[in-house]
């Protein structure tokens, strides 16, 4: 008998003793998935599941979300504030009062000695919007430094800048539901299946129900490129030329939507004059794809009843990232594809709350998309917060990427880093290392005590993490969703909101102003401030957000259930209510491969890791898929250099070098290599990171390197292991 026995064995399935499920929103990327964390009777998180009736993920989760509950028990969480005199001393555990007092007095000392802006604050896209808002109030209203920015400069700044230039305001106009209506989707520099697997699934579902062309533009043959109907493997950094040329064909063949252009845009003539120079023949020479393909894509896109574009870092992280975004917006404006179902310019955002920082952190302006440059906005906020109007600067200060050079040359003496890790994430990290050494005072606030940047800190604040506090995130499609508290933070770790409010008390001005202590109270202020603004939260409450699994702003009396799209009426945020068509002359200022450095270096995400691996590097079930850095390299190029699969090689740029394990694959061109961005002491040692003139975002994806075989593989292996242990 085949069944192995005469009687049925009882079946044992590993138990999941969940007592209660707690609702939260995922704290990794900006897809905005609703997660329920299962907690057992001892209060330990033991399971996770996607929320089945959440519109974003409909019960699905990617691998990071599935294992997010394991973060509560992950290694090297900060449990107590740490302090030391010099960065080369050993840390001592101290009480919160001591750590906060020292930090406040150092900030005050530096500001007194060198000026208010000599102390800088660089925050993140990872904390809750209530916390961003409170930090903004502290930075703008109490501390009063204008050198205050978020690490979103490394990821979304170009999208923000491009949206502002085209539409007069930040704010992605579309939503995921557009996949269900579009007739043509153009994805530029986005690898959805790895970067945003759930958004890819939404797209896949839409395509399974109803076929429509998917066009992927990417120099690398990603899985997304493989799934596309057309893959355009353009030369790195030539996307603006492609976009200009697409517009050229559309205008030349009369496929544009004249009615829309006339009614809702300005600047058409100058725009048309410029794109006239970008005929497909010339463009094909620059882009490295043929002219017929350019014409074909242009016609497909323009003739579709609704066409949309999505993009991520392939566009943003470029010397002309902002122009790339404007180029995409141009394409959609001339074809009338903004604010309609299936027709949009949808930037696929990076961090879970990159949108929240854009809306409320006051990094680049004042809350709810108010601008420092507008006197009325300054006056309004000064009155609302109880700050002297003149205390606000009249224009925004340095971007993150300009703050570090200002430290290097001594204009900035003190720095507060919040949930960000420039030692791994900034381009040219050897330079960042030297820069951080020069600080008179560095305070690092992070959930993890081993985040690489703590190496140069004088004070470390242990922060609570996702799921250990309450508040909201805004996702890619403007959906504000709720994070409930699942777990107490470990040891003395505190929510960032608490840290900011405690810090505020250490200034006389902070004691005069109102700093609500509960997230719900802060949310009330945000609702009030956003009323009537583009990012209108006035129709939301924490409970309503949970019940509806998130609501898309603007959400107000007119739209109590939120708004899937903005600009549906063709009214934009520029003074004249119109969108701008902006001509984009192309200047090729990239570091290009040459004889000495013959390879293009490209970097990007892998699905199992999040940013600098402070979280995912500790979850074995994620980290095991790439526990150490690697480099994708074309087999033909490797053979020429005597480099073999699964051996270490040395990659050298004009900045520095890195040791990586080589993975031979035809996914990359013979003159290009790809290295995941996540690893400490790796690809960002090599990257030049020229800054975009508008967004100040670094170009991570266009550098030149040379590759050398390593004879002594054992030493290379030891070096690699050592670099993974910090």
Partner 1 sequence: MNTTQTQAAEYSFLKKLRSQILVSQHGTLLDLDQAYPELVGEPLTVNGKLSSSDNPNRYKQHGFHFNADNCIACHACESACSEKNNLPAHLAFRKVGYIEGGSYPDVLRVNVSMACNHCEDPVCLKACPTRAYTKYAEYGAVLQDPDICFGCGYCTWACPYNAPQLDPVKGQVEKCNMCVDRLEQGLKPACVAACLGNALEFGVIEELPDGREQAKLSIPGFPDPSISRPNIRFQQKRSLPADFRRTDGVPIHYQRDEQGKDVFKPKVRNSGKKPEFGFDKLSSRENPLVLFTLLSQFVVGAFVLLMLLPQLSPAAAALTPVSHPIAWTGTLFGLIALQALGLLSSALHLGKTRYFYRGFNNLRHSWLSREAAALSVFFGLLGAYAMVTTFPVLASWLPEPLAAALPTVASAGAVIFGLFAIYCMTRIYRIKARPFWDHWHTGGAFFATLLILGSLGLGLVFGTASFLAGNRVDDLLHLLSWPLLAGLLLQGVALAVHLRYLQRRGAEADVSRVQMLTTYGKTYIARWISFGVLFIGSVLLNVWMPEGAWLLAAWTGLFILALAHETIGRALFYVLVTPTTMPGAFFWNNKYFEAHARKTGLANMPQVGVVPDAH
Footprint on residues 22-81 left by partner 1 (CB under 8 A) = 36, 38, 47-53, 58-63, 66-67
Q: Which is nearer to partner 1, 8 or 86 (CB)?
A: 8
Q: Which of these segments, 10-18, 154-162, 255-263, 560-568, binds partner 1 (CB under 8 A)?
A: 10-18
Q: Which of 90, 558, 646, 711 binds partner 1 (CB under 8 A)?
A: 646
Q: Which is nearer to partner 1, 511 or 645 (CB)?
A: 645
Q: How far is the CB of 643 from partner 1 (least distance, A)?
A: 13
Q: How far is the CB of 184 from partner 1 (least distance, A)?
A: 21
Q: How far is the CB of 449 from partner 1 (least distance, A)?
A: 16
Burial of 160 (0-12, 13-18, 19+ CB in 10 A): buried
Residues binding partner 1: number (CB under 8 A) = 81
Q: How far is the CB of 628 from partner 1 (least distance, A)?
A: 6
Q: Which is nearer to partner 1, 652 or 661 (CB)?
A: 661
Give the H or E element holding residue 375: helix 375-385
The answer to whether 558 contacts partner 1 (rule: CB under 8 A) is no
Q: Which is nearer to partner 1, 70 or 437 (CB)?
A: 70
Site string for partner 1, 462-501 (x = CB under 8 A): ----------------------------------------
Looking only at residues 311 through 350 of this chain, which bind partner 1 when binding is defined by CB under 8 A? Answer: none
Site string for partner 1, 205-244 (x = CB under 8 A): x--x------------x-x-xxx---x-x-----------
Q: Which of 317, 322, 552, 634 binds partner 1 (CB under 8 A)?
A: 634
Q: Which is nearer to partner 1, 3 or 575 (CB)?
A: 3
Q: Which is nearer to partner 1, 331 or 637 (CB)?
A: 637
Q: Which is nearer to partner 1, 233 or 405 (CB)?
A: 233
Looking only at residues 137 through 176 of this chain, which bind partner 1 when binding is defined by CB under 8 A? Answer: none
Q: Which is nearer to partner 1, 193 or 213 (CB)?
A: 193
Site string for partner 1, 647-666 (x = CB under 8 A): ----------------xxxx
How far, in Å, CA of 155 to CA of 159, rounded? 8
Q: How far is the CB of 653 from partner 1 (least distance, A)?
A: 22
Helix (H, G, I), strand (E, B), or coil: what is residue 517?
coil
How far, in Å, CA of 146 to CA of 120, rounded? 8
Q: How far is the CB of 637 from partner 1 (least distance, A)?
A: 10
The answer to whether 721 contacts partner 1 (rule: CB under 8 A) is yes
Burial of 632 (0-12, 13-18, 19+ CB in 10 A): buried
Q: Which of 105, 521, 718, 726 binds partner 1 (CB under 8 A)?
A: 718
466 contacts: CB under 8 Å, gap ≥ 6? 24, 26, 27, 68, 71, 126, 352, 483
Q: Give, to the nearest 10 degrees, the angle between helix 268-275 and helix 239-252.
A: 110
Give me the residues paired with residue 472 across strands: 482
CB distance 12 to 177 below 8 Å: no
Q: Which of the 8 DSSP states describes residue 463?
A: B
89 contacts: CB under 8 Å, gap ≥ 6? none
Half-sphere exposure of 712 (CA within 13 A, CB side): 5
Looking only at residues 604 through 633 of this chain, which bind partner 1 when binding is defined by CB under 8 A? Answer: 607-608, 617-628, 630
Site string for partner 1, 182-211 (x = CB under 8 A): -----------xx--xx-xx--xx--x---
Q: How far is the CB of 284 from partner 1 (least distance, A)?
A: 15
Q: Which of the 8 DSSP states describes residue 560?
A: T
Q: How far is the CB of 356 from partner 1 (least distance, A)?
A: 25
Q: Give, to the nearest 10 degrees, the angle between helix 129-136 and helix 496-504.
A: 20
State how far Cα 182 lies from the chain centre: 25
3-state secondary structure string across 671-718: CEEEEECCCCCCHHHHCCCCECCCCCCECCCCEEEEEEECCCHHHHHH
How far, in Å, CA of 50 to CA of 66, rounded? 8
200 contacts: CB under 8 Å, gap ≥ 6? 192, 193, 224
Q: Which is nearer to partner 1, 2 or 259 (CB)?
A: 2
Helix (H, G, I), strand (E, B), or coil: what is residue 494?
strand
Q: Which is nearer to partner 1, 109 or 204 (CB)?
A: 204
How far, in Å, CA of 449 to CA of 442, rounded? 14
Q: Which is nearer to partner 1, 62 or 463 (CB)?
A: 62
String of DSSP letters for 598-667: -EEEEEE--TT--TTSTTGGG-HHHHTTSSS-EEEE-HHHHHHHT--TTSEEEEE-SS-EEEEEEEE-TT
Helix (H, G, I), strand (E, B), or coil: what is residue 258?
helix
CB distance 122 to 416 below 8 Å: yes
The token duo for 305 is: 């009843």
Q: Which of 102, 667, 693, 723 binds partner 1 (CB under 8 A)?
A: 667
The answer to whether 296 contacts partner 1 (rule: CB under 8 A) is no
- Edge to edge, the sheet with strand 34-39 lists 20-25, 34-39, 45-50
Q: Which is nearer to partner 1, 159 or 215 (CB)?
A: 215
The token duo for 113 is: 């000695």
Q: How far is the CB of 394 from partner 1 (least distance, A)?
A: 47
Site string for partner 1, 353-392 (x = CB under 8 A): ----------------------------------------
Q: Which is nearer to partner 1, 374 or 645 (CB)?
A: 645
Looking only at residues 668 through 687 of this chain, which bind partner 1 when binding is defined by CB under 8 A? Answer: 668-670
Q: Which is nearer to partner 1, 196 or 413 (CB)?
A: 196
User: Is beta strand 344-347 parallel, antiparallel or unpaired with respect to 414-418?
Assistant: unpaired
Q: How far is the CB of 29 from partner 1 (least distance, A)?
A: 13
How far, in Å, CA of 28 to CA of 353, rounded? 9
Looking only at residues 238 through 277 of this chain, which bind partner 1 when binding is defined by CB under 8 A? Answer: none
Q: Which is nearer to partner 1, 186 or 418 (CB)?
A: 186
Q: How far is the CB of 676 from partner 1 (least distance, A)?
A: 11
């Amino acid at each position: 008998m085949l069944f192995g026995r005469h009687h049925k064995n009882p079946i044992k399935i590993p138990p999941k003793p969940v007592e209660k499920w707690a609702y939260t929103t995922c704290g990794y990327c900006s897809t905005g998935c609703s997660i329920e964390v299962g907690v057992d009777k001892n209060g330990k998180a033991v399971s996770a599941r996607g929320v089945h009736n959440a519109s974003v993920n409909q019960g699905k989760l990617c691998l990071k979300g599935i294992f997010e509950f394991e973060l509560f028990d992950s290694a090297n969480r900060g449990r107590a504030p740490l302090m030391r005199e010099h960065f080369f001393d050993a840390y001592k555990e101290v009480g919160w009062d001591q750590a906060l007092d020292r930090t406040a007095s150092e900030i005050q000392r530096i500001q007194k000695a060198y000026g208010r802006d000599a102390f800088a604050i660089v925050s993140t896209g990872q904390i809750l919007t209530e916390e961003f808002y409170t930090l903004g109030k502290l930075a703008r209203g109490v501390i009063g430094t204008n050198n205050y920015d978020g690490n979103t400069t490394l990821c979304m700044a170009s999208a923000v800048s491009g949206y502002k230039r085209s539409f007069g305001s930040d704010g992605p106009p579309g939503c995921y539901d557009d996949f269900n209506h579009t007739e043509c989707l153009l994805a530029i520099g986005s690898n959805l299946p790895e970067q945003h697997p759930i958004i890819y699934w939404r797209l896949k579902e839409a395509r399974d129900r109803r076929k429509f062309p998917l066009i992927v533009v990417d120099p690398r043959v990603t899985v997304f490129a493989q799934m596309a109907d057309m893959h355009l493997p353009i030369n790195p950094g030539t996307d603006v030329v492609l976009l200009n040329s697409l517009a050229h064909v559309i205008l030349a063949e009369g496929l544009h939507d004249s009615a829309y252009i006339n009614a809702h845009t300005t600047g058409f003539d100058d725009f048309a004059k410029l794109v006239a120079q970008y005929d497909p023949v010339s463009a094909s020479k620059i882009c490295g794809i043929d002219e017929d393909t350019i014409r074909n894509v242009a016609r497909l896109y323009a003739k579709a009843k609704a066409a949309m574009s999505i993009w991520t870092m392939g566009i943003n992280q470029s010397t002309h990232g902002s122009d790339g975004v404007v180029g995409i917006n141009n394409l959609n404006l001339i074809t009338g594809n903004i604010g309609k179902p299936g027709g949009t310019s949808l930037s696929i955002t990076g961090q879970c709350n990159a949108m929240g920082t854009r809306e409320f952190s006051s990094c680049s302006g004042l809350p709810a998309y108010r601008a420092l440059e507008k006197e009325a906005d300054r006056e309004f906020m000064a009155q609302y917060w109880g700050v002297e109007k003149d205390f606000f600067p009249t224009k925004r200060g340095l971007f993150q990427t300009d703050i570090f050079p200002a430290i290097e040359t001594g204009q900035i003496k003190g720095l507060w880093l919040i949930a960000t890790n420039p030692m791994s994430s900034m381009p040219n990290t050897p330079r960042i290392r030297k820069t951080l050494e020069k600080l008179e005072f560095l305070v690092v606030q992070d959930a993890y005590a081993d985040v690489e940047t703590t190496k140069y800190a004088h004070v470390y604040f242990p922060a609570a993490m996702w799921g250990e506090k309450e508040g909201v995130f805004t996702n890619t499609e403007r959906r504000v969703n709720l994070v409930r508290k699942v777990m107490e933070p470990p040891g003395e770790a505190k929510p960032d909101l608490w840290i900011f409010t405690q810090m505020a008390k250490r200034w006389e001005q902070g004691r005069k102003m109102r700093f609500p202590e509960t997230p719900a109270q802060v949310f009330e202020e945000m609702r009030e401030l956003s009323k009537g603004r583009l990012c209108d939260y006035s129709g939301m409450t924490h409970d309503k957000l949970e019940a509806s699994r998130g609501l898309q702003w603007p959400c107000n009396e007119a739209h109590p259930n939120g708004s899937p799209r903005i600009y549906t009426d063709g009214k934009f945020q520029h003074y004249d209510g119109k969108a701008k068509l902006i001509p984009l002359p192309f200047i090729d200022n990239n570091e290009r491969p040459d004889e000495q450095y013959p390879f293009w270096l490209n970097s990007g995400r892998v699905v199992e890791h999040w940013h600098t691996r402070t979280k995912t590097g500790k979850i074995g079930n994620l980290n095991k898929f790439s526990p150490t850095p690697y480099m994708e390299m074309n087999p033909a190029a490797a053979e020429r250099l005597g480099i073999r699969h699964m051996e270490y090689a040395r990659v050298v740029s004009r900045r520095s070098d890195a040791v990586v394990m080589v993975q031979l694959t035809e996914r990359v061109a013979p003159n290009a290599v790809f290295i995941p961005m996540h690893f400490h002491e790796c690809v960002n040692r090599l990257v030049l990171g020229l800054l975009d003139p508008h967004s100040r975002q670094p170009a991570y994806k266009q550098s030149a390197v040379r590759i050398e075989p390593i004879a002594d593989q054992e030493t290379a292996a030891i070096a690699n292991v050592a670099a993974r242990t910090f």
